[in-house]
Structure formats: structure tokens, C-alpha cells
Structure 1
Amino acid sequence: MACSIMVTAKQFFGDPITCITDEIPQKVMDTYCWIQSTFTLPHQLDRVAGEEVAHDGVGSYVDGQHEKKYHKYYQWVVFMLFFQAMCFYVPHYLWKIWESNRVRNLVSDLNNPILEDEKKTKQLKSLTMYLKDNFRFHKWYAARFFICEMLNFVNVVVQIWLVDRFLDYEFSNYGTEVLSFTEMDSEYRTDPMTRIFPKVTKCIFHKYGASGSIQTFDSLCILPLNIINEKIYIILWFWYMFLAVVTGFSIIYRCILCSSPQFRLQTLRMRNRIVDFHILESVFNHGDIGDWFLFLLLARNIDQLTYRQLIEQLDVSITKKTDRESFTISMDNERESKDEVGMLKIEKVDDFKKF
């Protein structure tokens, strides 16, 4: 977004295009060349500027025999940068909608270091009751976060391809070419910044003469915005590559966490080491990946002492609930077994009477 604003700031970088011509009014030529786009000559890039050609990529050519490379991207750079900014914000915005300040509401004032003991005890009790009553109901909450992480990776990969297509497939190797440019012999190297973002280009204007014949005017056009464009996209290249690598490893790390309960337990232990491991393991074993994810977020937003108290209270609460449930199940099983024994006795008596 900052780059998009920078590109539109004419007071810092002047007019987006200025064309040199004597026959055509300046404003008319500038507008025409901006709309129709300008071009450079690839076969003139290796020539010595100031001796063999006037500027890199600008020289004489024969129409139909020499290739002309048109540069149309500069009309859309500001919109492209704005669109990219919106794409990067979409996963964050989705998570904000799906998360709905759940962690903030659960933590409430527990992250306040001067909270009164009475209020702290009350809030800890409320949080404990919520976690106990909603155990194994946070899978979709965690899945939404994982989806946003995947969207981050997909976004950066798609944007690399999109910018590469936008710059006529010159972006994917842009950074490596700029780095290798300084190591090449000055007599045999071509600046990739000049090739992709030329500062001086050519523009052809046609109009009718006094007798109705078509007149051709060859003009040189200066593109001062390409001075900033080349810097923007070299920064974006390194930034995208960094994001792609980091986000890719993040996805791999998340997959390992999802497939290994023991690894998830260790991440909770590393987040807060003052919690007794056996108590933490007891609570962890009663939950699933959604509960683990919520515990991890709570550990990041509550101080260590408060988090330890929460885990200890939750362990006591869950253990009591589990003991009660196991007792009920055992009683039901015992009742069912007695009923089966009674039915067998009745069947035997009926058989004896028949006999």
C-alpha cells in the first residue's frame, strides 16, 4: 500500500512520462505515448550508451526486421500494488472474522498484572468452566486458523506468478539477475533493471499531413517512475521469496503438529515450563487438536503463573467429571449384566416348566 501511494506521488517523482518532440504539442505526445505504451529494442541493449546508441535499448531499427518490446505495465503498477495489498490482507481479515475476539473475551482481565485476587479467582473459575464444558468443541476453530495459514502460502505463490506474468515473465529471475549483474564483466553485462524498467524508451506517433499523407514522428520518452518501480520490485522479489520459504516451512511444521499428539504436548510444555508436566499431560489427553490450539493461544496471552493455575484447576475439574462419568458407565454396565443374568434364569425356568 505504501508503494502504491509512493508511485502516485507526482510531487516527489515528477510526471509519469515526458516525451521529446518538436512537431507535436508536448501534452498531446505525452498523453498519446502513455496510453499507447512505449517500446525498446532488445538488440540495442548490448550496445555502449553514448557511443553506439543514445540510450540502452534505444537506437535505429528497421520496422519488421527488428523486435520491439512494448512496455505497458507502468500504466497499471499503482492498481497492481493496491490489489496485492488487498490480497495479503484477506487471510488476516478472514481470521479476524472467524476468531471474533474469542481469546480476548476468554482472557478478559487475566493479563492485567494488578488485577485483584478476588476478581482473578472469579475469572479463572469462569474460564475453567468454559473450557470444561466445551472440551472437544474447538476443532473447527483451529481448522479455520490452519486454513488462513494455507491461504497465506497460496497467496504468496500466486502473487509471484501474477507479478511474473504482469512483467512479461521477467520477475521470477529478477532478483538473481540483479545479484549476478555486479559480478559480470562490465563489457558483456546488461543491467536487468534497465531491461525490465527502462528509463528512456521510444514512441511512434502518426498523423496526417497537409496533403493527407501519413507522417511519422519518432520520439524519445523519459519514464521517471521506473526509477522507483525498479526499486519496489527488487524489494518485493526478496520479500516474496522470504515469505514463500518461511510460510512453506510453517505449513510443514503445522502438518507435523497435526499428525503428532506428542509433539503438540511438547509445544505446550515449552510455552510454559512452570506447569507440572503430569498435570499438563492429564489435561491434554482429555482434549483434541482444537483444545490444544486454544491452550496455546491462552498461553501466549496469560502470564505463566495464571496459566499454571488455570491448568491445575482444569485438571481437577476434568478429573472429577471423568470419574463421575466412569462411575456412571460402570453402574450401567453392572445393571445391564444383572438384567442379562435375570433373563437367562427366567428362560431356564420356562424351559424346565415346559419339560
Structure 2
Amino acid sequence: MIYWIWAVFKRMAPFKVVTLDDRWDQMNRSFMMPLTMSFAYLIDYGIIAGSAIKCTGFEDTFRSEAFVDEYCWTQGIYTLREAYDIENMDLPYPGIIPEGIPNCIPLERYDGMKIECPDEAQYLTPNRVYHLWYQHLQLYFWLVCALFYLPYMVGICLGFNYTKPIVNLLHDPLTRDDEELDALLDKAARSLRHRFDIYSDHHKSWFNTLYSRHTLLYLLFFIKLQYLAFSVAILGLTHAKFKIGSFLTYGFEWAGSGPTNGTYTLIQHKLFPKMTACEIRRWGATGLDVVRGMCVLPQNVSNSYIFLVFWVFLVITILGNIIGCILAVKQYLVKSEGYGKLVNCTFWNDWNLRHLYWHVGGSGRVVLHHLADNLHPCTFEKLIRRYWWLKRNEFVQYNGHLKTS
């Protein structure tokens, strides 16, 4: 079991040798996906192994503690919006105050004057905020986990992994002899020749030429935009789940907040209350009975730290996706910049490569960069030279100047 888990993680991990996407995209599928999967397992373990909720105040009415805990967990835990950020902390917990107390108490001043309270009809009823989505946190993280991996799967299904067989064919050629390497290079070069001829065919209609020359480039940008859109949507969706407090600034408020003489409500008190009120309604002998009590949510202690780590890496992932999109535009749309990066990766500057890079279109440039990122520079150089050797021989054959076997 442990070996299987390690094998699966190794296939997803960003430090594997052969990769199709760049390091910015791998932050999503190879880091955020296992991270959110781990969060789902941690929350599941905390709910199963520990006590997610413990309620008190119902002992005189209900004998079954399990019924009370399960009812409050699924139906009735809440806090009051008006009970946060109160300077006088003479209350059980931020967000919890008795709903039936008077809104105002008349007081006498030192000069004998009396402070009168407004009419009760002018006050709004307390606004309850129910916290019922904590029981679905593990399912939420499984959904997030799938979203971080979905763009990669879309790219694979649409043919983004075209270069993978060539990379697997030529990867780590130092362990092979020269004859075997020449045979493999010949196979790979013929495959590239066929593919690059499709990319550079100018006899098609302008639409087919535009489509065939840039299909992989469109797909690459589509994948990157998906990663960026999903990461931003996950941040916004998580923020929408909380009715009090802002998850968008969770990390900043956590870092900049602290208790001040016990009068300040921390951000984790709003997003992850450790104590809530609960109300149970039932039919009794005299009609409808309403029983109120308080519940402790120990699971929210770990949830507050889990979501802090999640917020930090989610913000880093969003910034990384933005940087990845900008670098992709610079690398694939600005030809000189992309060619310079390709030369820096391969330590090889040759007219053949320059001519090829300028004429195979966006799809060809994507293929060349994938090959250069995953092959040894010497192997990549031999592959391009073998490609041009095949191209030249076929051109000479076609014009009747040379016949080869």
C-alpha cells in the first residue's frame, strides 16, 4: 500500500524527469492537487477519529447526547452577526450572545439625568449566521483537487502529449550505443519531418494553415488560462462559503491581527468559530418547544490552520499562473525571445534550428521547446541535424538529382 501511494505521488510530483508542462503549470497539478488531497484526508480523519462537535445545555430535555450532537451538526449551529467585534468581551465567545436580552438598559448619569433607550420597535432582530458547511469540507477539497488536475487531462485528451513518445524514445541516450541511438534518432526525425511538414504546408487554405500551424499553441494557452481561471474561481468560491469575515484577506489579517486586552475578534473567530449556539425545536406536551444550548467545534482549530496554508499556496499559485501566462506570451508569440530561450536550454545555436523555428508555426515551436526541455542538449542537436538530413535527401530525390536506397 505504501509503495503504491509513493508510486502514484512520484508520477504526479514536479521533480519527475520527463514533463509535458512547465514548472508554473506543475504548481497546480503536481503540488496543489496532492496538497488539497492531503487536506481532505486530514479532515476526514479528524471527523472519524475525533469528535467534530460537542454540545451542552440540553441535558434536562434530551437524554441522548449523540442525538443532540448530530442534530446541531447537521441543522442548527449558528452565531449572531451583531455579536462580533464587541469591545466588552463579557460574553461566552465572539459571535454568541443571548438573543432575548434587552437591546438597551436605561442608565443614570452622574448629574442626575437619565439616559433613555429608544423604542424596541426600532431595533432589528439579531441576524443569525448558520455554519453548516464544515461537514462538507472534505468533499469540497476533493472538488478542488479535481479542478487543479482537469486542465492537464483536457490537454492530454486533445493531443497535447504528442511529443511524449519521442521523448520516451530518446530519453537518457547515454546508456545506449551509437548504432542504437542512430536508429532511434532516425525514427524520431521521420516522425518530426511528417509533423513539421503538416505545420509548414502552404498549399492548404488559409484557415487550415492557420489551424494546423498553431493548434498546439492554442491548446497551450487554453490550458494556462484554465489553470488561472480555476485558481481564481477557487479563491472566490471559498470566500463565498463564509458568511462572516473575508477569506480573500485571510492570510494578511491573520498575520496582522492579535488580541488586544481580550476585546478584539480575530479573523479565525469569524471564519472558523470554535464555539457556536444551537437551537433545537421539537413537539412537546404543550406544543412547540425550543431548547437552546452551546456547542464546541474542536475540528475548527485544525481547520483554521489548514485553510491558512491553503490560502498561502493558493495565492502563490494564482501569482504563478499569471507569471506563467506572461512568460508563455513572451516565449511563443515573440519569436526572438522564444528562440533565445531555446538556445539557452540546448547550448546550441545553428542556422538549421533558426530556420526551422521560424517556419514551423506556433505548434512546431511548442514541440521544439518540449523536446529541448526533456532531452539532453547533444541528443536534441543530433535530432535536428538528422531531421535536416532527411529533409535534404528527400528534396534531392524529388528533383531527380540523387537516388538513395
- TM class by shorter-chain length? 0.7 to 0.9
Deviations along 1:42-101, one digit per CA (max 9) or x if unpaired, are 33334579x711223223223863232221221221211111111111112222333475
TM-score normalised by structure 1 residue count: 0.82
Query: The residue matched to 2:184 in structure 1 has which SS?
Result: helix
1:279, distance to aligned residue in structure 2 (A) = 3.1
Amino acid at match of 1:15: S
Alignment match, 1:106: 166
Q: Does 1:8 align with 2:44?
A: yes
More moved, 195-204 vs 252-261:
252-261
TM-score scaled by length of structure 2: 0.73
Rounded Cα–Cα distance in structure 2 between residues aligned with 1:94 and 1:221: 45
Does the alignment pair 1:159 with 2:234? yes
1:286 aligns with 2:373: no
Gap change, CA 1:270 and 1:209, over 3 Å in 2:
same
Secondary structure of the corresponding residue to residue 201 of structure 1:
strand
Q: SS at the partner of 1:203?
A: strand
2:158 aligned counterpart, secondary structure: helix
Q: Give the Cα separation in 2 of the matches to 1:111 and 1:70.
A: 56
Counterpart position of 1:337: none
Please say if residues 150 and 251 of structure 1, whose CA atoms lie closer than 8 Å, have aligned partners that are also in contact: yes
2:181 alignment partner, SS class = helix
For residue 141 of structure 1, report the CA deviation from its aligned partner.
Answer: 3.0
SS of aligned partner of 1:76:
helix
Distance 1:276 1:177 in 2: 51
1:42 to 81, 106, 130: 81
Q: Which residue of 2 aligns with 1:196?
A: 271
Larger Rg: 1
Q: Is the 8 A contact 1:175 1:234 kept in 2?
A: yes
Structure 2 residue runs without a partner (length 5+) = 1-36, 102-123, 200-211, 401-405
Task: Read off the aligned partner of 2:339 and give its amino acid letter.
Answer: L
- State which drifts further: 104-113 or 124-133: 104-113
* Contact persistence 1:41–1:68 (CA under 8 A): yes
Q: How many residues align?
A: 323
Change in Cα spacing, 1:65 to 1:321, as seen in structure 2 (3 Å) is same
Q: 2:386 aligns with which of 294, 313, 323?
A: 313
Equivalent residue, structure 2, for 1:144? 219
1:173 aligned onto 2:218: no
Listed one character per residue, the Cα deviations across residues 140-189 of structure 1 (whole Å, up to 9, x for unaligned) are 2343232211111111011111111122373112222112213x744553
Q: Whole-Å Cα distance in 1 between the matches of residues 133 and 239 of structure 2?
A: 11
Answering whether residue 39 of structure 2 is matched by residue 18 of structure 1, we say no
Backbone CA RMSD of aligned residues: 2.6
How many percent of aligned residue pairs carry the same amino acid?
Answer: 19
Alignment check: 8 A CA contact 1:48 1:56 kept: no
* 1:243 equivalenced with 2:308 (yes/no): no
Instruction: Verify the 8 A CA contact 1:153 1:247 in the aligned structure 2.
Output: yes
Q: CA deviation at 1:39?
A: 1.0
Residue by residue over 1:11-65, the C-alpha shift from the partner in whole angstroms, topping out at 9 and shown as x without a partner, is 776122111121212122112111213111233334579x711223223223863
The match for 2:376 among 278, 303, 306 is 303
Contact 2:216–2:362 under 8 Å retained in 1: no
Distance 1:224 1:13 in 2: 12
| Partner residue in 2 for 1:54 | 92
Whole-angstrom CA distance in 2 between matches of 1:187 and 1:16: 26
My pick for the range that moved more, 12-21 or 171-180, is 12-21
**In structure 1, how many angstroms separate the alpha carbons of the residues matched to 2:331 and 2:346?**
18
CA–CA distance in structure 1, aligned partners of residues 256 and 395 of structure 2: 65
From the superposition, tell whether residues 119 and 299 of structure 1 become closer, same or farther in structure 2 (CA, over 3 Å): same
| Paired AA for residue 193 in structure 2 | K
The answer as to whether partners of 1:283 and 1:315 remain within 8 angstroms in 2 is: no
Asked if the contact 1:153/1:248 (under 8 Å) is kept, the reply is: yes
Q: Is the 8 A contact 1:91 1:152 kept in 2?
A: yes
Counterpart AA for 2:267: P
Q: Tell me what 2:282 maps to.
A: 207
Q: C-alpha separation between the residues in 2 aligned to 1:55 and 1:34?
A: 18
